[in-house]
Structure 1
Amino acid sequence: MSGLKVLVVIIWMFRGAASDKWEIKMPKKIDAISGFCVQIPCQFEIPESFKQYLNKSVEAIWKKTSIDGPNVLSSEKTVSLLKGNVIGNILDKNCTTVFHNFPDGFSETFFFRLQGPEPLMYTFQQGVNITVHKDVPPPILSSYVQGMEVLEGTRLTLTCSTVIACPSIQPWMQWNPQLGEQLTPALQEDEFGQTLLASSQMFNAIPLIDHLNISCSVLYSQGAKRPAETSVTFRVLYAPRNTIALVSPSDPVSEGSVVVLSCHSDANPAVQRYEWYKDSGIGKLELQNQGQTLTLIARSTVQGLYVCKVYNNYGTDQSRPVAVGINSCQHSLALYIICGLLTFFLILITAVDLVKYKSLLKRLQASERLRGPMTYDTLHRTSDSVYNVIQTKDSRTEDDYENRNFGKPK
């Protein structure tokens, strides 16, 4: 038993000991499920002068609609409008009652009456309103967070609870999604003695759960009742992050062109202020303008690196530098002219060399055709002349031979 419940019981006991009034303690409202039982936790106090008449002969009666309404249940009668039992001990001033198979369409306010020997006959003024549901009543989700807005990193405890009107039939409880640490569903009692089924889960607030639907479901395996669900969403607040700057067009542009820089960031709440800075070249950032976009007219003075800074109530962030490149019109034209002239001269030189080569090749081929036969004829004629000369010098006539012989002595 919890400390709070013990304190309530002690206060009630002392109050009853000194009470001189007719008082009853029970829930003001109970949500019942048609076809299930309904248990009404109930305790009462009577004036001191009537306690002597509180004995086993006292009849416990439940009435509906008003204190003068018809009886629906009696502890002494076996036949009643509603089936049930007074399970509390009247002598202990406990009037706890269970109604069985509570019918649909029987939503009423019920009053308790003591019917004993005179003068102990009294209907208590406070009633309990029983609302009958065809389906399972949805559970209650408690987050203990004001406005459901939390800062990133906050430790959250989400508790799901439901009153079990019929303690003999206990439901199942389920979380979706399951986040962090969970406590197993456990039975508890509230200040009126009603049975509660409660479960909690603890988790840290992160951007991934921002506007995430977190639900708790209660379902009964008996009676084929549809599960009941209650959900909550949290708004997770955090400083800007993942900030990027974009340049359009991204390639260097000609002077006079329009360049647009845009900044994008993830933040909750959304970014409240954008600032654009230019790198001065010496490590110093100079503020250029404010706004999510920055429009520039391309000229040499705007060329360089740019950074976007973003702010909201919870912090700041900045992008990586992006470059804005400028192409000078004069330089571009001169470059095109030079490249064109070089290409032209290269083609011209190649063409001239090709013509020269073809011309030289033709001359060489013609020269070869002429030079081949002339060389052979020259060599042939030269050989014949030499041969003829040699033959002329070496030949001898018959007379020379005879004369040469006659000159010798015999």
Structure 2
Amino acid sequence: MTVFLENARIIDPGGGTEALGNLVLDGGVIAAIGDMAAPKGAEVVDCGGKCVAPGIVDIGVKVGEPGERHKESFRSAGLAAAAGGVTTIIARPDTSPAIDTPETLEFVTRRAAEASPVRIRHMAALTKGRAGREMTEIGFLMDAGAMAFSDCDHVVSDNKVLSRALTYARAMGALVIGHPQDPGLSKGAAVTSGKFASLRGLPGVSPLAERMAFDRDMALVEMTGARYHADQVTCARTLPALERAKANGLDVTAGVSVHHVTLNEFDVGDYRTFFKLTPPLRPEDDRRAVAEALATGLIDILCSMHTPQDEESKRLPYEEAAAGAVALETFLPAALRLVHDGTLTLPQLFRAMALNPAKRLGLPQGRMAEGAPADLVLFDPDAPFVLDRFTMLRSKSKNTPFDGARMEGKVLATFVAGRRVFAAGEG
């Protein structure tokens, strides 16, 4: 079926532009962009002047399969992603068991293809069992389809093990995704250290724990020449080190979660466990600095860091509660806060959410160009709503920090390979 999107406000993150126009989707790709008429027999979709942008490519989504399907399945994650305008999920390997063998990777790849309406690709663990002692079979895992390698928040503390893994990854051309947090300083921490942590009586971790770990990783990247992506840079003090690493020619990129650029430490309020994240929310000065780094391109990628947790693991004292928040469906409206406050333009936002992650992973998605995959999101950036986590979220887990929040930005339709996988008001 050929689809014709007319009267669309087309967001092009590559060209940095937005303009009214039409699109033809045919054969799974964008066949034409411009002021043409609808092809004969095409399904015509009147966008009503609303925005059409490349579908979001979300690095670092936690799906519960295998082992924790009650928290999130490939089916529920796919439906949530489609409703949120996410057309490609890059799933994390911190499952139970970890995705650390080709057999496990092939299993989850099959399950995802069967169950999800959006594309799901997978990372694999960097070390066996994410235990930080012995690296995985990187070559075999790449052959099985691994997009990148990461132990997620189980930071490899043994420098020799990490240097060997980085050296091997360099030889294979593999991307390693690190979590820059010093594991010793971060252990047991619930919030960022400072006056707020002291007033609440909560164990804190200094922002320098991120800077120290990032500096360690940069030294090893310089030594090995590996391709490296920092999953979350959340502190102002890390930014100069990131800038130096790029200036020195290291193959380094950095990301940040939507929560760390739209929320701060005060949102924890009276021990609200839905705001407990890894790393913890930062002071407002850090949030502003990181948001500005996203605008300038110093931080390359904005992600959801979707981490489903069941009610039982969140209904605990703040120190004991599980960390993480769901975000596939709130990703776009939360990120649009940065557009509404003037920090980012829409092309800049989709550069960070779609184009840059696709480029870093070597994927053809994320582009608004003829011949690019017809993975698109149609949305109204100004539509207001109040989020109700029980009635509005498709994720199995409902642990969102935005419950009850006033938000702007609604997804109207999502297309994967030219096929509509979500339409507002249906299902």
- TM-score (norm. length: structure 2): 0.18
Q: Which structure has greater helix proportion?
A: 2
| Larger RCO: 1 or 2 (CA < 8 Å, sep 6+) | 2
Name the structure where strand makes up a greater proportion of residues.
Answer: 1
Task: Return the index of the structure with the highest Cα Rg.
Answer: 1
